[in-house]
Amino acid sequence: MLQVLANRTYRRLFLAQVIALVGTGLATVALGLLAFDLAGADAGAVLGTALAIKMIAYVGVAPVAAAFAEQLPRRSMLVCLDLVRAAVAVFLPFVTEVWQVYVLIFVLQSASAAFTPTFQATIPEVLPDEKEYTRALSLSRLAYDLESVASPMLAAALLTVVSFHSLFAGTVVGFLASAALVVSVVLPSPKASERRGIYDRTTRGLRIYLATPRLRGLLALNLAVSAAGSMVIVNTVVLVQAEFGLAQRDTAMALAAFGVGSMIAALLLPRLLDNMPDRTAMLAGAAVLVAGLFIGVFVPRFALLLPLWLAIGVGYSLTQTPSGRLLRRSAHPEDRPALFAAQFALSHACWLITYPLAGWLGAKVGLSTTFAMLGVIAATAILIATRIWPVHDPEEIEHVHDALPVDHPHLVGATRVGNGHRHIHLFVIDSHHPDWPTEQ
């Protein structure tokens, strides 16, 4: 897997991602402490609102930001967004009112909503070989999982010698280092072959996404992932400390088991996807999530929760990590930022549904019922995915054009059939192919 780091450009981009993730993790810990400092017993409400603002920014800003991504040099855009995030982190230690936290969090997460899809869309152009790109996806998944473990540990160590306000300095350093690494490489910036209006650029990614069967299947699987992930993230502390009567250390162990499961899957995925279609692997991962949720109904003690969370972590990564491969093969290079932004927005819309659902159901009807209801949601999502994502999903599709002029350059080499022209090529949704062929 590490051979992909031999590529200098990718190596620096990956290092930028890791450093920025650690900085973000430090900010997450510091934000919780800042909320308690400002609001005391109401800190939970402040953090809940901040998370809701984060999701709203992710869902609303990403497609709009993608509309401008194709008009700007990729490297300049990423560096500017890193600098915006660093500037917000500079201001966070000085806030004195809760509303100021909300404003700064919205600006910070809006910058992230623009940065992340653009960054993700750049990687398949830096690594055009699919096997290398698959290994990059697995490394990225490992980076996210390791960050969730390393950042709290680093924060705990730093808090023994500095105040929590100083943790924000680590965030600033992370974003500045990320900007420096990005500016040190040359990045491709594919341009659209035709001029597009702002509405077309804003909605293009969503239109490509929703018109492509494999991506509609991915959207359903996003819901299954968020259902299982929300149960783990929202209710682990309730399960461990309220249901089982254990300590904070045990909550950390349970969350670590989930992270370890995700890392195991990420390590195995490159070899697995060399021999298995993405659809099969992702549906298998989602099936593990569903099984885990239903088994959770009957978990009576902590010793059984750990292997369950480990298995759900495996299913989580197995379902989620290959999504970049689907996005890569479903759009032209110039449309990838818009498509990755659509995935970013739609996947977080699923989390926006399941996060509060997991919390509300857990509080109102009990955790066993919550496991079962989220399991039903995930199982329904899998059923939908199997129906709308065809088993036979070739990249090259034979199709007929009946609206293009006879002398159109796209029809060179096509065969005349009736009032149209038939040919076969790598098929993605674009201006010449606004709809998916009904016959394959």
DSSP states along 68-99: HHTTS-HHHHHHHHHHHHHHHHHHGGG--SHH
Specify the pLDDT at position 48: 67
What is the pLDDT, as a whole number, of residue 305?
96
Q: Residues 49-76: what's their mean pLDDT?
A: 81
- Is the distance from CB of 428 to CB of 333 less than 8 angstroms? no
Q: How confident is the model at residue 250 (pLDDT cuts 50, 70, 90)?
A: confident
8 Å CB contact between 209 and 342: yes
Q: Measured between alpha carbons, how far is 274 from 327 in angstroms, rounded to an integer? A: 18
Query: Average pLDDT for residues 274-301, to the nearest whole number?
Result: 95
Coil, strand or helix at 371: helix
Q: Rounded to an integer, what is the distance from CA 126 to the centroid of its chain?
A: 19
3-state secondary structure of 397: strand
d(CA 17, CA 175): 9
The pLDDT score that the predictor gives to residue 55 is 84
Instruction: Tell me 238's DSSP state.
Output: I
Query: Quick one: DSSP state of residue 302?
Result: H
Enter the tokens of residue 70. Answer: 């194709």
Reported as a single tens digit per residue, the pLDDT across 214-238 is 999 999 999 999 999 999 988 888 8
Per-residue CA distances from 342 to 65, 72, 229, 262, 265 (Å) = 11, 18, 20, 24, 25
The pLDDT-based confidence of 51 (bands split at 50, 70, 90) is confident
**What confidence tens digit (pLDDT) does each residue in 353-380 have?**
998 888 889 888 999 999 999 999 999 9
Contact 289, 378 (CB under 8 A): yes
pLDDT in tens, 313-363: 999 999 999 999 999 999 988 888 889 989 989 999 999 899 888 888 988
Q: Which two tokens stand for residue 40?
A: 């005391």
In the chain, the percentage of residues whose pLDDT exceeds 70 is 93
Strands (E), 91-184: none
Give the angle 55-82-56 at the CA atoms, nearest 5°.
Answer: 10
* CA distances, 65 to each of 68, 119, 345, 438 (Å): 6, 12, 11, 32
Summarize the confidence of residues 19-27 as an average pLDDT.
84
pLDDT at 248 over 70: yes
The per-residue pLDDT for 440 is 44
DSSP symbol at 389: S
> What is the rounded CA–CA span in Å between residue 189 and residue 121?
10
pLDDT of residue 192: 60
pLDDT of residue 324: 92
Mean pLDDT of 12-24: 88
Give mean pLDDT, residues 88-101: 88
Q: What is the mean pLDDT of residues 387-397?
A: 92
Judge whether 218 and 328 are in contact, CB under 8 Å. Answer: no
CB neighbours (10 Å) of residue 139?
21
Beta bridge partners of 217: none
Rounded to whole angstroms, the Cα distance separating 37 from 30 reads: 10
Of residues 164 and 262, the one with the higher pLDDT is: 262
- Please say whether the beta carbons of 60 and 188 come within 8 A: no
Are the C-beta atoms of 82 and 20 separated by less than 8 Å?
yes
pTM: predicted TM-score of the whole model, two decimal places: 0.86
Pairing label, strands 415-417, 396-401: unpaired
Contact 118, 17 (CB under 8 A): no
Task: Give the separation between CA 92 and CA 171, rounded to whole angstroms.
Answer: 10
Strand order of the sheet with strand 420-426?
Answer: 396-401, 420-426, 415-417
Write down the mean pLDDT value for the chain.
87
Structure confidence by residue, pLDDT tens digits, 266-282: 989 999 998 899 999 99
Helix then strand then coil, % of the chain, to nearest 5: 80, 5, 20
- 161: number of Cβ within 10 Å: 7
Over residues 181-192, the mean pLDDT reads 82
pLDDT band, very low/low/confident/very high, at 4 (cuts 50, 70, 90) = confident
Question: Two tokens at 177?
Answer: 């280092």
Q: Is the dihedral of CA 65, 69, 71, 72 positive or negative?
A: positive
Number of CB atoms found within 10 A of residue 197's CB: 8
pLDDT above 90: residue 35: no
Q: Domains plus CATH for the chain?
A: 6-188 (1.20.1250.20), 206-389 (1.20.1250.20)
